[in-house]
Amino acid sequence: MPHKTIHFQVSERKLLLRGVDTFMMLFGLEVLSLLFDAAYLDISWENSVAILILLFYFSVFGTVFEMYDLKKSSQLDATFKTLVFTVSTTVLFYFLTPFFTPFLPEKRLQIVYFFLTIVVAIFIWRIAYVKLMASPRFYKKVILVGEVAFLDDFVKALLQSDPNYKIIGFISCESSGISLDKALGIKEYLSQDLVQVVERDNISEVVVANYNSGMISASIYSDLLLLLQGGYVIREYTQVYEEITHRVPFQFVGKDFYTYFPFSRSNQNTLYLFFNRVFDVLFSIVGLFLGSLMLPFILIGNFIGNRGPLIYSQQRVGKDGSVFNIIKLRTMIVNAEEAEARWAQENDVRITKFGKFLRGSRIDEIPQFLNIIKGDMSVIGPRPERPYFVNKLAQTIPFYETRHIVKPGLTGWAQVKSRYGASVDDSIVKLQYDLYYIKRRSFFLDLNIMVKTLSTVLFYRGQ
pLDDT digits (tens, 9 = 90+) for 78-133: 899 999 999 999 988 888 877 766 666 777 788 888 899 999 999 999 999 888 87
Interval 305-315 mean pLDDT: 86
**Which residues are paired to 140 by β-bridges?**
165
Q: Coil, helix or strand for 346?
A: coil
- Quick one: DSSP state of residue 6? -
Q: What is the distance between the alpha carbons of residues 376 and 373, in angstroms, rounded to a whole number? A: 8
Interval 154-194: pLDDT, tens: 777 877 777 778 888 888 776 555 555 665 677 888 888 88
- Quick one: DSSP state of residue 121? H
Higher pLDDT, 224 or 372: 372
- Backbone φ, ψ for residue 157 (5° rounding): -65, -40
What pLDDT does residue 264 have? 74
What pLDDT does residue 421 have? 61
- Provide the pLDDT confidence category of residue 4 given band limits of 50, 70 and 90: low
The answer, yes or no, to whether residue 282 has pLDDT greater than 60, is yes
**Which residues are paired to 142 by β-bridges?**
167, 205
Domains of the chain: 10-133 (no CATH), 139-245 (3.40.50.10700), 265-458 (no CATH)
The answer, yes or no, to whether residue 346 has pLDDT greater than 70, is no
Say if residues 252 and 240 touch (Cβ distance below 8 Å): no
Indicate the burial class of 441 (C-beta count within 10 angstroms; 0-12, 13-18, 19 or more).
Answer: buried
Q: What is the distance between the alpha carbons of residues 263 and 248, in angstroms, rounded to a whole number? A: 11
The amino acid at residue 435 is L
- Nearest C-alpha neighbor of 78 from the set 87, 89, 69, 88: 69
